[in-house]
Structure formats: structure tokens, C-alpha cells
Amino acid sequence: MRQLDMLDRVLATLDEALATLSTRALARRADPAAQLAQAMLDEPERRNAAGLMRVNHSGEVCAQALYLGQAALARNAQTRAHLLHAADEETDHLAWCETRLRALHARPSVLNPFWYAGSYVLGACAALAGDAVSLGFVSETERQVEAHLAEHLQRLPGGDDASRAVLQQMQLDEARHGAEARAAGGRELPWPVPRLMRGAAAVMKALAYRF
């Protein structure tokens, strides 16, 4: 099999980015909200649900970029396979969030290209620190995403069962991804890193909710 040269790798990376940002992600698993009736939301409830799902969609854009950046520089083939498998499941989340945004007559964040680029670089930097640190980064990311999803489940309008079903399945998947990363050898990150991650995520959530 021909080895990929630098141009091949750059083109592959650009193709992955375009696929993620195209808002036409294809899920492999059934949408948890597919069989649920659309809620009758008033305008403030619709805007709130749309803002929350826009944040979650941006989070999945970040997850795709993060995992692909880590996989690109993973030192161990097993670690790379683990990261790519997780990225595949995050594609389901991306597709489900896109479907919810369309149902809520809302658009994705206009800042998604920025989130993608920053997350890809962050993932690559984590991988440069070694597979154990990279997997630890996955574990901490998923721990924080679980907490974020729990918050959004509380903030969703009471009647929006479709969005709630999507977030609940995402929460289960994120918990599993974190547990798998720890089982694969991920180690705890130094104490300043989780705090910095929470700060960066807070900025993303505040901006994606509005824009």
C-alpha cells in the first residue's frame, strides 16, 4: 500500500474538516429522537432550545477535530484506532444535533470553522505529549462534557422530548468514551489543565449559544 506523503495528509485533513463543517453528517445509528413528536414550543422556548442545541452541535464539531488531531499524531496503532472509533460515534452526535437544529428552525454556529481549527491543533498538541496524556485528555474532556450535558438537560424546555432524548444518548456515549480512554491507559492531567479546559469551553458555549 502506498505511503501517504505530506500533500496527501494535508488533503485528507482538509477533507475531514469539510465533511464535519458541511452540516450533512450521516449517522450510523438510529436517531434517538426519530420516533418522538415535535414539541409545540413558544418563541422564547424555541430560541432557548435552539441555542442549547447549537452549543451541542459546536461541541461535536470540536470533538471531531480533537479526536482526529489526536489520531493523526498517535504513537500507537491501538490508540489511533481507539480515537478513530470514538470519532465515528461522535459523527452520530453531530448528525443528531444537525437534525434537531433543522427541526428548531435554527442554524449551526457561524464560528464552527474556528472551533474546528482550534480543537484540531489542541488534539495534535495533546498527542505530542504521548498516548497516555492524549487518552487522559479524552477522559477529562468527556468528564466535562458529561457535566455540560447534565446542565443542558435541566435547561431544555420541558416539552422538548426530542432534544432531551438526543442529549441523554450523547451523555451515555460520552461516559463510555471516557471510561474506555481510562481503561486504555489514559492518565490524570496536571491540575491546571482541567481548569483551563473548562475556561475555554465556557467561552465556546457562551459564543455558540448566540452566534
Comparing 77-86, 173-182, 198-207, which segment has the lowest mean pLDDT?
77-86
Asked if residue 43 has pLDDT above 90, the reply is yes
Model pLDDT, residue 17: 62
What is the rounded distance in angstroms from the CA atom of residue 194 to the CA atom of residue 45?
32
How do the domains of the chain map onto residue ranges?
41-210
Asked if residue 90 has pLDDT above 60, the reply is yes
Model pLDDT, residue 7: 45
pTM: 0.89
Asked if residue 91 has pLDDT above 80, the reply is yes
Model pLDDT, residue 132: 94
- Is 3.40.50.10420 the CATH number for 41-210? no
Range of 15-24, 30-39, 157-166 with top mean pLDDT: 157-166
Model pLDDT, residue 3: 53
Q: Region 109-120: what's the mean pLDDT?
A: 93
Residue whose C-alpha is closest to residue 56's, from 26, 105, 22, 95: 95
